[in-house]
Amino acid sequence: MGEKQYVVYILASKAYGTLYTRITSNLVQRIYQHKKGLTEGFTKRYNVHRLVYYEIHTDVYEAITREKCIKKWNRQ
């Protein structure tokens, strides 16, 4: 069995260019949940479900650090 993977991903909305960055251990399932509106909250409210970027990490702390770094990016 392979190493556990942690995926840092970015979703975007078409209409407003809204970005959403998070970590998951199952990207396919998580994107499905976002697209079907199965998760309450930000992505459902703002229709943010278009995957625009992802990167895979084998260390959870590395993935968390990367997520925090991405969230600090200037979006302009």
32-56 pLDDT per residue, tens: 999 999 988 999 998 899 999 999 9
pLDDT at site 76? 65
pLDDT at site 1? 54
| CA nearest to 43, candidates 56, 55, 33, 53 | 33
Residue with tokens 């260390």: 59
CB 49 within 8 A of CB 31: yes
Rounded to 5 degrees, what are φ and ψ at 29?
-65, -45
In the three-class reduction of DSSP (H, G, I as helix; E, B as strand; rest coil), residue 25 is classed as: coil
Q: Is 53 part of any domain? A: yes
Rounded to 5 degrees, what are φ and ψ at 40?
-75, 150
Question: What CATH number has the domain bearing residue 50?
Answer: 3.40.1440.10
pLDDT at site 61? 98
Supply the mean pLDDT for the chain: 92
pLDDT at site 71? 95
Which pTM was predicted?
Answer: 0.89
pLDDT at site 14? 82
Structural domain including 66 reads 6-71
Task: Please give the tally of structural domains in the chain.
Answer: 1
